[in-house]
Structure 1
Amino acid sequence: MPDAPAASLHQRIYGDIEGGILDGRLKPGDRIPSEHELMEVYGCSRMTVSKALTALAAAGLIERRRRAGSFVTRPRIERTVMEIQDFAVEAARAGRSYAYVQLSREVLRLPEAQGSAFPVPAGTEVLRMEGLHRIDGVTVALERRLVMLEAVPAAREMDFSTTAPGRWLLQQVPWSDAVHVIGAGLADAPTARLLNLDRGDALLILDRETRQGARTITQVRLFHPAGLYRFVGRFSPGTAGG
């Protein structure tokens, strides 16, 4: 029997993988066989396999990572930019598990003005923390946070080893307003390592300052892998000045 035409063969590869994803045999985060493995299974060229994988990626069914291979796409978490987010709540809404991992914690007086999106004067006593937010075991954000101890003295003794500071602050401290600054960047080596990315991969970066009247409660910078998050704003007539 003659070999199947390349056009129908790449469609078959596409259909087989798509079917496995849609019927649940391949779950979000599962690794797809490598190009060489698929070449052996289907007895075809690398070009044919690559065409099928490219089409699957374009359809949003898989994501291709340099040197790591191809994986079933994880659902993106959609964030409303006007809200102060709670990762645990977002995960629960999506039917997924959540965990916070504290990486570092120290109380100090800032030796110099904080050079962030929201400057903090030198000498301010703060609780400085770094931690990871994980959903279904995947790190979705690196958090770097300052809590102003004059505004939130109870934070000094609070154990944040497994409790996300943002969630605790939302539950314990009344706030009046918040400012968000959203940007993009490229992962440096330390950030890439913590987020399981390659150096230079794209990041979504959210800077936020939360206040109680004229007092700053906390500042946070969140680094998200660009492929896992998107920020969404919803507006209606009369809510913006044009």
Structure 2
Amino acid sequence: MKPLHQQIRDDIEQQIRSGALKPGDRIPFEHELMAQYGVSRMTVNKALTPLDEAGLIERRKRAGTFVRLPRLDSTVLDIPDIQHEITARGETYRFELLSYTIHKANSDEERELAGDGGKILVLTGLHFASAKPLAFERRLVNLDAVPEAETIDFTRQSPGHWLLGVVPWTHVENQISAMVAEAQTARHLRIDKGGACLVVDRRTWREKARVTTVKQIFDGSAYRLIARFDHG
């Protein structure tokens, strides 16, 4: 007969692999598993630790244990459509618009995009995968280059998805870096303060006109970028 910790581990793993427990679902709290199986906290921890190490679950301080979201892969050499990547994996995608303002360019970053006094759309929002925040986004759009963006309802679709569909870009510059989550980012992404984040700073052009500047901060445990090169 299997040890109790192995039985608990196998039960949870079977529920995850069968789809009974889906990405983002909460695993019962440790005290609930203790009561359900009649075991000690040490036995429950012994069951959960290998599942965590195998990447099947995610243990969050003060929040509980959840089925881990599949890690999304994206190529560095392109502009990934986050919505398409998430739905292609069979997950539910949602974009939550946090702020929306239009004003004349008045900072160095805005003037670099649209020129002195150019019209700028500034958006912030969250990309969700299976109800879990995947990325925080702050985007500047040059409305002189893309005036139709002012008429779009970005509570219904993400600005990145819309831009990829209607504005053909000719040049892109990606800058990839890492950071630890400060308090506000941690709250947005529902991760621990100091957690690992992947940051993408991107600028795009249509011919000589700058189109958009965007900073995306990803939960580092759920997203990675891959570079592929062909030697001709």
Q: Percent identity?
A: 45
Match of 2:207 in 1: 213
Match of 2:86 in 1: 91
Q: How far off is 1:20 after superposition?
A: 1.9
Whole-Å separation in 1 of the counterparts to 2:34 and 2:131: 31
Deviations 1:125-155 (A, max 9, x none): 3111111222332222111000112222222
Count of aligned residue pairs for this structure pair: 231
Q: How far off is 1:227 after superposition?
A: 1.7
The answer (yes or no) to whether the contact 2:60–2:192 under 8 Å persists in 1 is no
Whole-Å separation in 2 of the counterparts to 1:187 and 1:45: 34
**Residue identity matched to 1:27:** K
Match of 1:169 in 2: 163
Match of 2:62 in 1: 67
The SS at the match of 1:111 is: coil
Q: How far off is 1:122 after superposition?
A: 5.3
CA RMSD of aligned residues (A): 2.3
The SS at the match of 2:108 is: coil
Q: Which runs of 5+ in 2 are unaligned?
A: none
Are the structure 2 counterparts of residues 195 and 22 from structure 1 closer, same or farther at C-alpha, using a change threshold of 3 Å? same
Match of 1:107 in 2: 102
Match of 2:49 in 1: 54
Whole-Å separation in 2 of the counterparts to 1:196 and 1:180: 26
Whole-Å separation in 1 of the counterparts to 2:196 and 2:47: 25
Whole-Å separation in 2 of the counterparts to 1:12 and 1:157: 56
Q: Which runs of 5+ in 1 are unaligned?
A: none
Whole-Å separation in 2 of the counterparts to 1:130 and 1:105: 7
Q: Select 2:139's aligned residue among 131, 136, 145.
A: 145
Greater C-alpha radius of gyration: 1
Whole-Å separation in 2 of the counterparts to 1:183 and 1:34: 35
Higher RCO, 1 vs 2 (CA within 8 Å, ≥6 residues apart): 2
The answer (yes or no) to whether the contact 2:24–2:130 under 8 Å persists in 1 is no
TM-score by length of 2: 0.89
Q: Select 2:185's aligned residue among 180, 186, 191.
A: 191
Are the structure 2 counterparts of residues 31 and 97 from structure 1 closer, same or farther at C-alpha, using a change threshold of 3 Å? closer
Whole-Å separation in 2 of the counterparts to 1:22 and 1:194: 29
Whole-Å separation in 2 of the counterparts to 1:214 and 1:73: 43
The answer (yes or no) to whether the contact 1:205–1:221 under 8 Å persists in 2 is yes
The SS at the match of 2:46 is: helix
Q: Trace 1:202-241 onto structure 2 (pairs within 5 A).
A: 202-238=196-232
Whole-Å separation in 2 of the counterparts to 1:34 and 1:156: 46
Whole-Å separation in 1 of the counterparts to 2:103 and 2:119: 6
Higher helix share: 2
Q: Select 1:76's aligned residue among 63, 71, 77.
A: 71
Whole-Å separation in 2 of the counterparts to 1:135 and 1:167: 15
The SS at the match of 2:59 is: strand
